[in-house]
């Protein structure tokens, strides 16, 4: 469980997707694609403002 604590320290509030990626290896690709896509969309939206 120390690993998850370290991830929280590094990523802060964005740690949840990464933690679920490590825990669920079966759907890791889907989770990663979804989280990176929403991060990308957020960056694009904030850039437009």
Record the pTM: 0.20
* pLDDT value at residue 39: 63
* pLDDT value at residue 42: 66
**Residues 35, 24: Cα–Cα separation, whole Å:** 14
* pLDDT value at residue 4: 56
**Residues 27, 40: Cα–Cα separation, whole Å:** 20
**Longest alpha-carbon distance in the chain:** 39
Domain residue limits, the chain: 2-48
Q: What are 1-49's pLDDT values in tens digits? A: 566 566 556 655 555 565 555 555 555 555 555 666 666 666 667 666 5
**Residues 9, 24: Cα–Cα separation, whole Å:** 21
């Amino acid at each position: 469980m120390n690993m998850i604590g370290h991830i929280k320290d590094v990523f802060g509030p964005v740690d949840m997707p990464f933690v679920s990626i490590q825990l669920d290896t079966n759907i890791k690709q889907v989770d990663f694609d979804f989280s990176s896509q929403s991060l990308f969309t957020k960056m694009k939206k904030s850039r437009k403002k």
